[in-house]
Amino acid sequence: MTTSQAGRVYINTRECNGCGGCAALCPEIFIFHEDLEIAEVIRPEGGPVECIREAMIFCPRKCIYWEDTV
Ligand code: SF4
């Protein structure tokens, strides 16, 4: 089951290697800009916990952060 949680999701774009994995795994939250070869958070307020965690675990640069704002 997918659950949502409040928080702030962001990427340290200086560390991002442009693999695009986060956007492939969790398109509700991340988008990959092919031209810039960089990922961006399109829904920083968060969303489906499982897919955000999956993207964070996958991220080869460990540059996705999710701050709890509650
Ligand atoms: S998974 Fe990590 S390194 Fe890959 S595009 Fe996303 S933020 Fe960048």
Is residue 44 within 6 Å of ligand 1 at its C-beta? Answer: no
Q: Could you say which of 3.40.50.150, 2.60.120.10, 3.30.70.20, 3.40.1440.10 is the CATH number of the domain covering 8-67?
A: 3.30.70.20
Q: What is the pLDDT of residues 21-69, one digit of tens each?
A: 999 999 999 999 999 999 999 999 988 999 999 999 999 999 999 987 6
Question: What is the atom index within ligand 1 of the atom nearest the CA of 64?
Answer: 7
pLDDT in tens, 1-17: 455 666 799 999 999 99
Nearest atom in ligand 1 to 16's CA = 8
How far apart, in Å, are the Cα atoms of 4 and each of 38, 45, 52?
Answer: 25, 10, 10
Would you kindly state where each structural domain of the chain is located, as residue ranges? Answer: 8-67
Check pocket membership of 59 for ligand 1, CB cut-off 6 A: yes
Sequence-ordered list of residues with C-beta below 8 angstroms from that of 8, at least 6 positions apart, any chain = 44, 45, 46, 66, 67, 69
